[in-house]
Amino acid sequence: MARVRVRQHVNPLSKKYQEIISPPNWEKIYSNLQQPLHLDIGCARGRFLLKMAREQPDWNFLGLEIRDPLVEEANRIRDELGLTNLHYLFSNVNIDLDSLLSSLPLQVLQWVSIQFPDPWFKKRHAKRRTVQPELVATLAQHLPSGAHIFLQSDVEWLALEMRDRVAAHPSFRGTHPQLWLPENPLLVPTEREIATHNQGDPVYRCLFVKPD
Ligand SMILES: C[S@@+](CC[C@H](N)C(=O)[O-])C[C@H]1O[C@@H](n2cnc3c(N)ncnc32)[C@H](O)[C@@H]1O
């Protein structure tokens, strides 16, 4: 597969990423829109979702990514493979998520994963991090009971920050409060997860559910 050359990071607070995108016509995207949906936030090249979509045809998969060239390339590969349960969308999730989730049928969104989001290490860049309290509130508003949020990172303090922000919302309950998950419940590793594993570094994971 050809790899597209793209910028390593973009600033989600910059002016060009503040416009809310219009949700697509989901009926035209998924062959069965009523299947449960797994949303992967910050999907990059989308290889994790590609594998998930092939292994689980009775689920739909949606990847949101702010670097547009990656989205175009991922959708091109999806089309080549003829997958009708997978879509990638250009989005700044900190701007678009509410409008996108409002446009989906009720109850379909069952899993959300946020995997190895950019840490933006400097304190003055903290607002660029993906898991902001507002994003957690948007997820709480749209996820149905029984839905899961899965988080992982190789940066422990970032994993803690994400975990604390989700745990602080009354809508979510951690499956292993105060503990990291011993393994990835999704079985398919992301590209960043594979690289971390190959370096012998630890991964910090947690899982939340929205109780009935
Ligand atoms: C470090 S990469 C991890 C990619 C993949 N999840 C993995 O584990 O291999 C983080 C991704 O999140 C994307 N991203 C960062 N902020 C975003 C935002 N506000 N909205 C959508 N995508 C974002 C970045 O462009 C990047 O592709």
Q: Is the CB of residue 64 below 6 angstroms from any atom belonging to ligand 1?
A: yes
Residue 18 lies in a domain: no
Q: Which residues pair with 96 in a beta bridge?
A: none
What total of structural domains would you count in the chain?
1
| Average pLDDT of the residues of the chain | 96
Residue 183 lies in a domain: yes
Mean pLDDT computed over 138-149: 98
Helix (H) or strand (E) holding 41: strand 37-41
Mean pLDDT computed over 81-98: 98
- Indicate the top mutation candidate among 14, 17, 43, 131 to test ligand 1's pocket, ranked by most ligand atoms within 8 A of CB: 43
Residue 13 lies in a domain: no
Q: Which of 36, 148, 47, 30 lies closest to 83 in space, CA to CA?
A: 30
Q: Is the CB of residue 93 below 6 angstroms from any atom belonging to ligand 1?
A: yes
Mean pLDDT computed over 86-110: 97
Domain housing 182? 24-209
DSSP letters for 11-47: -TTSGGG-SPPPPP-HHHH-S-TTS-EEEEES-TT-H
Mean pLDDT computed over 101-109: 96
Question: Rounded to the nearest whole angstrom, what is the distance from the C-alpha of residue 212 to the centroid of ligand 1?
Answer: 30
- Do residues 130 and 89 make contact, with C-beta atoms less than 8 angstroms apart? no
> Where residue 212 falls among pLDDT bands split at 50, 70, 90?
confident
Mean pLDDT computed over 84-109: 97
In sequence order, what are the residues at sequence separation of 6 or more whose Cβ sits closer than 8 angstroms to the Cβ of residue 157? none
Range from 113-117, 182-186, 206-210 carrying the lowest mean pLDDT: 182-186
Residue 102 is predicted with a pLDDT of: 97
Residue 52 is predicted with a pLDDT of: 98
Q: Is the pTM of this model over 0.85?
A: yes
CATH number of the domain encompassing residue 105: 3.40.50.150
The answer to whether residue 118 is catalytic is yes
